[in-house]
Structure 1
């Protein structure tokens, strides 16, 4: 291995929180399987590096909702990113043990409606109605936009 050691590891603690925080009576089971994870990575490792994939328990999956994962603000945020839709947590800045020995990140999950937050109004139109909708303009990609 040599002296001094040619490699070392940094400890990372990943906290996960259920949002909104509900009382045990309102939310009898946690959304995540574990409340925290401890990981070790080699310093100066190649990035991006997938650390773990966070999963929401089946009890909290719902046909009407998607889950959105995010990182709660803290001092080590620049080291991490999370895929908002599948919960994969990545290390995006390689740690240097001489500068920092332990990194902490908190990941949260929110239920979001699959329907979105915009009101949609649908009016059925026959093919003959589409010809008279309005002026046609092209965008930079030569795709047509119909302006009403």
Structure 2
């Protein structure tokens, strides 16, 4: 079945005033994620080197994630779930300036989430509106950290 609405996936894009490489490094940083991801705040490493955890601002639940990066394509996959089973349900893609004719220190950052079949409508809606807010947090924090360097 094909559905053009956001019933199965959701994407949000922001225009960032930083070079693509800066945005990519920010999106790939698991500790930075703990400052913008409302569902996984205050991230910390776990005993497993590549896995981090944080807590949801919504209900305090502990979440686990692992970050897979593709620096050549400027894609970051966030694998979410339990430490025993992490699946790539959220992805970030950074689009460099030259692809869309942006200024040399600009890029687009897109967050995409895919809906799990066990996610009810209320939880899915919360995820979608959360990503709408998070793109503003990401943009502000990424641009601020770039200006400080």
Question: Do both share a fold (TM > 0.5)?
Answer: no
TM-score (normalizing by structure 2)? 0.28
The structure whose Rg is larger is 1
